[in-house]
Structure 1
Amino acid sequence: MRGDAAVPTLFNGNFDAVFDPKGVTRTPLSKGLPGWSFHNGQSNPNIDLVQSLEEVKLIQGNSEPNYAFKLESSGVKEIVHNRFVVPDWGALRFDLHAPKIANSSNAKSKGTLDVTIRPSDPSIPAFSQTITLQKAENQTDSNKAPASYLIDQFKVDYGIKGFESFSVDVPEKLRGQPATVEFKLEASIPVYLDNVFFQSESLRFSNPTTARTDLVTNNTYQNNYLIEKPQYTVSYNGKKNTPNWVSWVLDGSWPGNIKSKDRPGEFAVDPDLNSSFYRVAHKDYKFDSQINYNEDEYKAFKLEQPAIFWPVRGHMSASNDRNRSTKDMYASFLTTNIVPQDSKGNEGAWRGLEDKLQKLARLKNEQKQPTPYKFYISSGVYGAGGGELTKYSTPPTVTVLNERGRVVEAPLKDNPNSFKNFKTADGDRTITVPSALWKVVLGFKPNSTSDKPDYYFAFWMPNNSYEIQKSLDYTTKDAKGNIIVKNNTLGWEERLIPIGKLEERLNADLEKSGDSFKYDFLSQIKDPNSKDKMKKIISLLP
């Protein structure tokens, strides 16, 4: 039986705990669906819930049996999960497939699906969220920034073709309360429901810093604030005005065919970020006036004026990893998903690793893998200062002419980048420039039956142009006197480190900055021997 974690947050939330649902061996006693009932916790002997299960393994891209629950006006249109205790953290998530929604945002809504968490204590109000069975609008504003994110959050896009994930934030007052979850269809079309759980799938192996949404009882989460979206999960740092980390899942369902010309032209503020935070805007990343050199000097690697950092809005969760639908692509263009990243770094090994993972994920379509490669990815930031030379990096040398005109190899200066932060557009706040960026990749090969990843490694990249080079040759110049930068950047394979080594660096930096949280990327790996192995050894991609 599939599950979302070692201990599922909701029993049989994937509807797979059932024997031979369509077979002749079933008896009248097997009409019930474990964990679920027809209405208000009571089973109706005339309602066969199991007959509402549909085999969806071809839609989900799995080789093993995979059932979803069908809600329809002419059959079962309401289903209730039996009483459980609401977890102390994590959004309610579920996958929805509605193939009969018109593939046009101008078409009328086909109805609604209401999701309700109802506590047993009548003094605590129930909480409901409505999914509108209509195609997402996917609008942009005059600057081509996503403009309909909030409106589209609970409309359908990819769900017309396959199973689309939805995420519902849970009010703090419901935490720890006995409750039921209800799904009620008010529509003229059927929908298919699957994978009803709490806590984002991207956090299957860890919530790396134990991020939370509770800002009332524990103010430490101002620097470790949890934002869960269907597309990715964020730990946001209100002091740095950047994410600490972003986590997401990449498998064969995510790479799509949205063209570059259809990407947003700007980033939008994230309305999911609590209003007590400063919400970074696209214009806050216009740092040119705060840099004492121009972009041409940066591209030229001027030795007399080390111009080795040019900030761009660097995605943490790559937009090409979220392009199975326009709605998903637009969600990657929110400012909680970006950091100031060096331009050459964004185009080099960082992009190389992204391309490698995307290529493997796409093998589902190219080689028709029954179950494709699947990756759990996290990326984030380290330190401040734009990229000091450290013992963890591979400092290059530069080839120069000495005072006698001879070609010599000269070491780079220490601390080549002084940018620790940039001011926002209003000048009242700062955005921290990380000194390095990192990724953690946990992956499964096709048709893997293991509950532990087959591939595991970390990736470390200083956030400046000098350190991403093997060497720089200042003796070869073009007609304008600019050096000709050869393609000698370090590849992504040369920047891999064990996960445990990454944790050591990150936690040492947190201790120095006075933060109370710590990193653990494998907290849900309960076998100590397996966990120790995965922290010390690099298991490479094929």
Structure 2
Amino acid sequence: MDNVFFKSDHLKFGNPTSARWQTGNSSTYQNNLLLEKPQYVVSYNAATKIANWVGWKVDKTWVTEPPTQPGELLNGLIKRPEFITDPDLLAGGYDGNIFTGLGMDRGHLSPNRDRLRHPKDELATYLTTNLIAQSMDNNRFFVRGSNSSTDASAWFNIESKVVAPMVSQGQELYIFAGAIGNNPNPQKKTNVPQLLNMVQDGELINQGNTIPSNLSNRQIHVPTWTWKTIMAVEQPGAEVISSNIETFAYMTPNVAEPDWTLSLDGVANPLNNDVFSPFLKLRGNIDNAAAWRNPDTWRVTLPELTNILNERNRLRNYDFKFDFLSNLP
């Protein structure tokens, strides 16, 4: 009976935490609440007020913009939309305005660039159940017009250098993304020179520390890590067997990258921490910005990521576990 209700194509190969939708006011306080949408699926956590994960399918049909209709702006949208409360939440929602003054980005888990099929699909990514507080250095491209991976964050490079090429080649991807940890304390906004030197109205706008009180006062978590899994099928509709799929998994630190002028000998890889180390091999120092921004620096295996997420759940006494691609043999 469980599977009768899960008709979402995005969960074709499994619901990673067996998330469920439950009606009634008490359901808003569950930590694994299923929210199914045409564009993506969410496991929402009312304790952290962010998603455990967001899952979506992407192929060429999802990233191909429709022809502009008479009277529309070129991209079909009216300016850049603001994040709004998810109408599927019965209580406890918030909108993106509370991020004002934070000094971190309003980060998508499912990016709007993967939902260009129709303006409504793109707008759907601007619900706060798809939103996290994301460090500038873990989200942006830093040099406009550049196509170099050294001029963008590792997270951005996963989207532009891993996902986008596979989609353009005709592959079908099933992606899950999420965030873990919580840092309610002020932290450095950025150490990227191009961002540090940005000026608006005659003022440097990215200097100093973040101000997370708007979020922490509402018990909204500010993640310390972001993660993403990708399963790539060689073409839409292809039979899924072990020889024609690839899986990728990444964990990127949600902090300002190091100040390389102070790190001449490199910095210890943040993945070598006490919680993760039982599940990962020891990694060498990171010597420069190019290595920090390289997705391969942050690549892990799917079993490693699963074990790390489940250890986090054990420490938080959650009653669910992660199991990716559980519908595959």
TM-score, scaled relative to structure 2 = 0.71
Is 2:62 the partner of 1:254? yes
Are residues 287 and 215 of structure 1, via their aligned partners in 2, closer, same or farther at CA, if it must alter by over 3 Å? farther
SS in 1 for 2:38: coil
Q: 1:212 to 1:463 in 2, by over 3 A?
A: same
In structure 2, the residue matched to 1:362 is 168
Does the CA contact (< 8 Å) of 1:220 and 1:516 recur in 2? no
Q: Are 2:2 and 1:88 equivalent residues in the alignment?
A: yes
Q: Paired residue for 2:174?
A: 376
Pair 1:320 & 2:113 matched: yes
Q: Is the 8 A contact 2:233 2:240 kept in 1?
A: no
- The answer to whether the 8 Å contact 1:386/1:420 transfers is no
> Does the CA contact (< 8 Å) of 1:422 and 1:433 recur in 2?
no
Deviation digits for residues 442-468 of structure 1, max 9, x if unmatched? 0111378432361102111011013xx
> Which residue, 227, 234, 254 being the options, matches 1:463?
254
Match in the other structure for 2:313: 510
- Cα–Cα, structure 1 residues 432 and 318, in superposed 2: closer, same or farther, change >3 Å? same
**Residue-pair matches, total:** 260
Aligned mates of 2:213, 2:53 — CA distance in 1: 20
The one of 212, 227, 230 equivalent to 2:20 is 212
Aligned partners of 1:440 and 1:331: how far apart in 2? 21
Question: For residues 447 and 332 of structure 1, do their structure 2 counterparts lie closer, same or farther at Cα, with a shift above 3 Å needed?
Answer: closer
For residues 437 and 449 of structure 1, the distance between their equivalents in structure 2, rounded to whole angstroms, comes to: 30
Pick the aligned partner of 1:520 from 319, 323, 328: 323
Conserved 8 A contact 1:280-1:335: yes
CA distance in 2, matches of 1:350, 1:245: 16
For residues 14 and 211 of structure 2, what CA distance do their matches in structure 1 show? 29
| Structure-1 residue corresponding to 2:206 | none
> How far apart, in 2, do the equivalents of 1:420 and 1:220 lie?
28
Q: CA deviation at 1:281?
A: 0.8
Structure with more relative contact order (C-alpha pairs < 8 Å, separation 6 or more): 2
How far did 1:513 drift? 0.8
Out of 73, 83, 98, the residue aligned to residue 267 of structure 1 is 83
Residue by residue, what CA displacement relative to the aligned partner does 1:24-79 show, whole Å, maximum 9, x if unpaired? xxxxxxxxxxxxxxxxxxxxxxxxxxxxxxxxxxxxxxxxxxxxxxxxxxxxxxxx
Separation of aligned partners in 2, 1:475 and 1:519: 36
Q: Does 1:472 align with 2:265?
A: no
- Name the CA shift for 1:475/1:322 in 2 (closer, same or farther; >3 Å): closer
**Measured at CA, do residues 475 and 362 of structure 1 come closer, stay the same or move farther in structure 2, by a change above 3 Å?**
closer
Determine helix, strand or coil for the equivalent of 1:438.
strand
Deviation at 1:354, TM superposition (A): 0.8
Give the structure 1 partner of residue 276 of structure 2: none
2:138 maps to amino acid: G
Please say if residues 213 and 221 of structure 1, whose CA atoms lie closer than 8 Å, have aligned partners that are also in contact.
no
Rounded Cα–Cα distance in structure 1 between residues aligned with 2:318 and 2:210: 21
CA distance in 1, matches of 2:212, 2:7: 33
Name the CA shift for 1:445/1:221 in 2 (closer, same or farther; >3 Å).
farther
Q: How far is 1:205 from its partner?
A: 1.5
Match of 1:329 among 109, 113, 122: 122
1:350 alignment partner in structure 2: 155
Could you tell me which residue of structure 1 aligns to residue 183 of structure 2?
Answer: 385
Counterpart for residue 494 of structure 1: 297
More helix, by proportion? 2
Paired residues for 1:103-182 under 5 Å: none
Q: Secondary structure at the match of 1:473?
A: helix
The change in CA–CA distance for 1:419 and 1:381 in structure 2 (over 3 A counts) is: farther
Q: CA deviation at 1:383?
A: 1.7
Gaps in structure 1 of 5+ consecutive residues? 1-86, 92-197, 289-309, 364-371, 388-417, 477-484, 527-542
More strand by share: 1
User: Aligned partners of 2:316 and 2:39: how far apart in 1?
Assistant: 30
- Return the alpha-carbon distance in structure 2 between the equivalents of residues 420 and 223 of structure 1: 26
* 8 A Cα contact 2:19 2:43, kept in partner: yes
CA RMSD of aligned residues (A): 3.0
